[in-house]
Amino acid sequence: MTLAPPPFDPELAAALAATGQSSIATGITLDQLAVERANLAETVPTVTELATDATLRVEERTVPGAEDGPELELLVVRPRGRTDPRPVVYHTHGGGLIMGNNRYGLDPVLDFVRELDLVVVSVGYRLAPEHPFPAGTEDAYAGLRWLASDPAAVGGDGRIVLTGGSAGGSLAAALALLARDRGEVSVTGQLLMYPMLDDRNESVSARQMHGLGVWDRVSNETGWAAWLGGAAEVSPYAAPARATDLTGLPPAFLDAGSAETFRDEIVDYAQRLWAAGGDAELHVWPGAFHAFDFLAPQADLSQRARAARLHWLRRLLGD
């Protein structure tokens, strides 16, 4: 049965129309992956391009990876002109668990450097289907452990906020669970931007957005299948919505669009955080499609979504 989706916000609908496509990153299957990766790579800024923003100090670092894993490529972005230790935002990038690198989707996150003088550390992790779970998650965790062990190496003050958009939000939520369960790293907060949390892919919103908007149910199925690699049991560290225990997690910020595949799983995750006695802030932006603030940053809704994250970070960090 076809379910009517909520209407898109006028500005976001216009931005989407102006791309000349009726939808973005929908209907992706593994056989198109090489093309999709190449298309995405074209839009990712280089380190030199990122460094043209005079307010930022951009550097690349290689640090030891997970046991049996490769070394990790970290991108460190600091506010220029600030030398005192600052809180660090640890960023895991998006791309459906199958695409992207540590510079992908960074623009909304760089707001935290520009506006709040925070340090951003963005980690590259191994992607599916070449490397199914837990490879990428363990990479991201190894980077987090390195950061926690020596925050001063990047100008950090010891506080770490996990963040990521889409698949990166999934990894950020998973890292929060891992940090709690392994007890090696202390995390200050988790800022989950339209996170991809649930491999089951069966929600009303997933069905409503089939073939529509940005990142639909088909693309989602492809990403999850590659990430899980046919595992019989799905670990909560692979798909955080699978976690049955959400107690003892750091304060969370979650946002979603009302017109996106992930809407229902994000709302559900927030409700379960509250049910577990957790501290969580949830925003559902009306008529927003997935990754709207990244694709159309000038839209009114995008500005408000970005501002809401900054407000939450300010309160969380007491700045």
Partner 1 sequence: MQNLSRRLAALDTSAGAALDVIAYFDRLAQSRAGLEQVVRGAAVLSGVPARLDDPARRIAIRVDAAGVRTTPDGPPDPRWPSIAVCGAVLRLETDRPTGQLDGMVLERAAITVDLVIARVRGGVPARRPDCAVVELAVDPAAEPQERKRALRELGLAATDGARVVALADGDVMVDRGTRTVPGEGRRGVGPTVPAAELPRSAHEARVALRFTADGTAADPGPRVVHADDLGALVLLVAAVDAGAPPTADLRALLEAVQEVPHLLRTSTALVASVSVRAAAAELYVHHSTLQDRLDQAERVLGWSVRTTTGRARLQLVLAERLLRR
Quote the CA–CA distance of 74 and 101 in Å, as a whole number: 10
Phi, psi for residue 38 in degrees, rounded to 5: -65, -40
**Is residue 8 a contact residue for partner 1 (CB under 8 A)?**
yes
Site for partner 1 in 268-297 (CB under 8 A): 291, 294-297
Please state the closest distance from residue 150 (CB atom) to partner 1, in A. 34
Please state the closest distance from residue 256 (CB atom) to partner 1, in A. 17
Q: Residue 57: which residues within 8 A CB-CB, separation 6 or more?
A: 77, 78, 79, 80
Lay out the site mask for partner 1 across 154-173 (x = CB under 8 A, - = otherwise). Answer: --------------------
**Is residue 53 a contact residue for partner 1 (CB under 8 A)?**
no
Tokens of 22: 């009726």
Quote the CA–CA distance of 286 and 202 in Å, as a whole number: 21
**Is residue 214 a contact residue for partner 1 (CB under 8 A)?**
yes
**Is residue 248 a contact residue for partner 1 (CB under 8 A)?**
no
Site for partner 1 in 83-112 (CB under 8 A): 107
Please state the closest distance from residue 59 (CB atom) to partner 1, in A. 24
Quote the CA–CA distance of 34 and 111 in Å, as a whole number: 31
Q: Is 222 left (phi over 0), alpha (psi -120 to 50) or beta?
A: alpha
In our burial notation (b when 16+ CB lie closer than 10 A, e otherwise), range 56-65 reads bbbeeeebeb
**Is residue 54 a contact residue for partner 1 (CB under 8 A)?**
no
Nearer to partner 1, 137 or 208 (CB): 208
**Is residue 16 a contact residue for partner 1 (CB under 8 A)?**
yes
Residues of this chain that bind partner 1 (CB under 8 A): 7-11, 13-20, 24-25, 40, 43, 107, 214, 291, 294-300, 302-303
